[in-house]
Chain A
Amino acid sequence: MSREKSGYRWLDHTADVGVVVHGDSLEALFEIAAEALSDLITDRETVEEREERRVVLSAPDPEQLLVRWLTEILAWFEIDGLVFRRFSVRMDGALSLEGRAFGEAFTYGAADRNARHPFRTAIKAVTYHQLSVRQSGDGWEATIIFDV
């Protein structure tokens, strides 16, 4: 089996947006999935690392853990108004993680003269639809569909 490079690619889905993520390790997979989500919301390149958020999560399986992690990032965006440039995930096994996110307050819109971030897509939720986290070659692969 050929090994795909770390990164992600979008899936075309009529109503929603899907992504396939590859990572060298499960930790990298979770970090790259979070980057994909950030790129869906805004342009990550425009985000500076001024603030940090941290969370400890666990779940009955890796798929649910991934949904919880990405949902945490959505909640930071929606409740605290933060967007992120970089993520760091440490895992002990596949059922718990300590995640950190580095970013800043989201500024956008014609009304805000200091707006620096583009707004791309409003995401309602990270769904369980066709969700998978699996080993692929010597790395990991995940498929995630967002409700937009």
Chain B
Amino acid sequence: MAGKKTRPPIRVERLDDYRWRIPQTGRMLTEGIVYADDALFARIRQDQSLEQVRNVACLPGIVGPSLAMPDIHWGYGFPIGGVAAFDPAEGIVSPGGVGYDINCGVRLLRSNLTRKEITPNLKAIADALFRDIPAGVGRGHKEYQLDPREVRQVLEGGAAWAVEQGFGTEADLDHIEEGGRLAGADAGEVSDRAVERGRRQLGTVGSGNHFIEVGYVAEIHDAAAASAFGLAKNHVTVFIHSGSRGLGYQVCDDFISVMLEASSRYGIDLPDRQLCCAPLRSPEGKRYLAAMSAAANFAFANRQLMAHRVRETFRHTLGLTDRDLRMGLVYDVCHNIAKFETHQVEGRSRRLCVHRKGATRAFPGSAREVPADYRKVGQPVLIPGDMGRRSYVLAGAEGALSATFGSACHGAGRVMSRNEARRVARGRELVREFEERGIFLRGAGRATLVEEIPEAYKDVTEVVDVVEGAGLARKVAELRPLAVIKG
């Protein structure tokens, strides 16, 4: 970056085909472990994400290594793709370890429709989804706004609130991480401005890398798990990727101000201001967790509402019933979250605050958090790729529990900056180009589409291969896109 001194290179040691170690030096309280193969690691070294892995290792009360998933890239404070666990008594919680888009996450719907059956109506489905579910920048819904009192109910009820309002079914809740509701939420810790930013945005996709994607199961890698997840070859699926929208960004922003002050008061020496934090047992730490959980619940409700609209749109456009379509929820996972979980550390069961920033929980079937119908195969781990190539459904493996606090990657990770992507996409007619490949692309503006071209991302297969090779999760199915709605 301009005007910056060159930093001494970070010392790394190779552990095996998929792991690299940053030894504990200087102010680090633990080592760093980065999951990557040679090709991915060569790219990771080019930005400052390894420094960020090291910085996280300096935070008080960290338990186990500062971890990075193979889709790691440079974030603000924590790297994107970072995982770190903290002791409840000695450790900290950091808004920078969660990110602005609190509980940004992804959910996957399955269906009984085959690719062949949907093809004649695909354009109509793409147009209807784009019309029915607000995407893009601006004020969100015109017709559907909540009053501040209702927003507060969403903040404490999460996806369960949405189901009570008739958006979806009780069965959906079993297939959402944490049942779609974090219990520690306190709407009273969410500022009026955050509520104001959220009230027209429930049930909206947003912009940037968020999307709704209609796809199909192109390949099955694990028949037993695919069958448990309700995934069959050539059947149509729908991905929904979004988070807590402006409400979550505002909660993060509000608490960074609080934490900047708290960090200095509690004598926490910060390598980067964006790592500002407070002890988990401090009033500031507890307040942040309560507000973050509330924003996470807003995100769960947001995705629940959109899933309901997707089902409605499919019914109306195709003239079919729910019984014909059977668009059950495969699973819903958080990408950006901090929460208490119980993990085995050196043979001892410990309650820890696990931060996942651009990482997915990937519990094996042995974990009691995994719903009963997935116990034999493990939790579905949903890994969207770019909008042109492929995405994966994985299943959490035992290796994740012992090595990464039950975590895996969350996506492909960018390789091009937005400016580079714009340069590469200059003069291209993306909508037509995609249509020729059989993918209907709908976007609120050209700006997002050009920044999100497939070439701007790594091929997600590279990332998923490392996760599987390292024993964190295993491949269940590969999905390919048919229609993509972007903000």
Interface of A toward B, CB cutoff 8 Å: 10-18, 20, 41, 60, 63-64, 67-68, 71, 75, 78-79, 81, 106, 108-109, 118-122, 124-131, 143, 145, 147-148
Q: How far is the CB of B303 from chain A (nearest CB, A)?
A: 17
A-B contact count (CB 8 A): 110
Q: Are the CB atoms of A64 and B208 closer together than 8 Å?
A: no
Complexed CA–CA distance, A44 and B272 (Å): 33
Q: Are the CB atoms of B447 and A119 closer together than 8 Å?
A: yes
Q: Are the CB atoms of A127 and B76 closer together than 8 Å?
A: yes
Whether, in the assembled complex, B478 has its beta carbon less than 8 Å from a beta carbon of chain A, the answer is no
Q: Chain A residues with Cβ under 8 A from B257's Cβ?
A: 64, 68
Complexed CA–CA distance, A79 and B192 (Å): 12
Q: Are the CB atoms of A121 and B447 closer together than 8 Å?
A: yes
Within B65-107, which residues are at the interface with A (CB < 8 Å)? 73-77, 80, 99-101
Contact of A20 with B2 at beta-carbon distance under 8 Å, contacts A12-B420, A125-B100, A127-B76 already known: yes
Q: Are the CB atoms of B2 and A64 closer together than 8 Å?
A: no
Q: Chain B residues with Cβ under 8 A from A68's Cβ?
A: 257
Within B220-254, which residues are at the interface with A (CB < 8 Å)? 246, 249-250, 252-253
Complexed CA–CA distance, A11 and B208 (Å): 18
Q: Are the CB atoms of B246 and A127 closer together than 8 Å?
A: no
What total of chain B residues lie within 8 Å of the partner, measured CB to CB? 48
Contact of A64 with B207 at beta-carbon distance under 8 Å, contacts A14-B73, A125-B249, A125-B253 already known: no
Q: How far is the CB of A63 from chain B (nearest CB, A)?
A: 8
Query: 16 A–B contact pairs at CB < 8 A?
Result: A11-B2, A12-B420, A13-B417, A63-B273, A64-B260, A75-B193, A109-B136, A109-B444, A109-B445, A120-B447, A121-B447, A124-B249, A125-B252, A125-B253, A129-B77, A131-B273
Contact of A122 with B206 at beta-carbon distance under 8 Å, contacts A10-B419, A131-B273 already known: yes
Contact of B448 among A11, A71, A108, A122 (CB under 8 A): A122
Contact of B418 among A17, A20, A79 (CB under 8 A): A17
Query: 4 smallest A-B Cβ distances: which pairs?
Result: A129-B76, A122-B207, A129-B274, A122-B137
Whether, in the assembled complex, B16 has its beta carbon less than 8 Å from a beta carbon of chain A, the answer is no
Q: Chain B residues with Cβ under 8 A from A148's Cβ?
A: 208, 418
Q: How far is the CB of B423 from chain A (nearest CB, A)?
A: 10
Contact of A14 among B2, B207, B272, B414 (CB under 8 A): B414
Q: Mark B435-462, 1 if CB is under 8 A from A, else 0.
A: 0000000001101100100000000000
- Which single residue of chain B is at the shortest CB-CB distance from A109? B444
Contact of B73 among A12, A15, A128 (CB under 8 A): A15
Whether, in the assembled complex, B139 has its beta carbon less than 8 Å from a beta carbon of chain A, the answer is yes
Complexed CA–CA distance, A14 and B81 (Å): 14
Contact of A14 with B415 at beta-carbon distance under 8 Å, contacts A109-B444, A125-B253 already known: yes
Complexed CA–CA distance, A18 and B445 (Å): 21
Whether, in the assembled complex, B117 has its beta carbon less than 8 Å from a beta carbon of chain A, the answer is no
Complexed CA–CA distance, A119 and B138 (Å): 9
Q: Chain B residues with Cβ under 8 A from A131's Cβ?
A: 273
Contact of A122 with B272 at beta-carbon distance under 8 Å, contacts A14-B47, A130-B1 already known: no
Q: Chain A residues with Cβ under 8 A from B260's Cβ?
A: 60, 64, 128
Q: Chain B residues with Cβ under 8 A from A13's Cβ?
A: 74, 417
Q: Are the CB atoms of A127 and B274 closer together than 8 Å?
A: yes
Contact of A11 with B253 at beta-carbon distance under 8 Å, contacts A17-B418, A75-B193 already known: no
Contact of A79 with B2 at beta-carbon distance under 8 Å, contacts A16-B76, A128-B273 already known: no
Complexed CA–CA distance, A131 and B77 (Å): 11
Q: How far is the CB of A145 from chain B (nearest CB, A)?
A: 6
Whether, in the assembled complex, B154 has its beta carbon less than 8 Å from a beta carbon of chain A, the answer is no
Whether, in the assembled complex, B416 has its beta carbon less than 8 Å from a beta carbon of chain A, the answer is yes
Q: How far is the CB of A17 from chain B (nearest CB, A)?
A: 6
Whether, in the assembled complex, B276 has its beta carbon less than 8 Å from a beta carbon of chain A, the answer is yes
Q: Chain B residues with Cβ under 8 A from A18's Cβ?
A: 1
Excluding A60-B261, A121-B451, A147-B249, 13 further A-B contacts by CB distance (< 8 Å) are A14-B74, A15-B414, A63-B273, A64-B260, A79-B196, A119-B444, A122-B207, A124-B208, A127-B76, A128-B76, A129-B76, A129-B274, A148-B208
Q: How far is the CB of A71 from chain B (nearest CB, A)?
A: 6
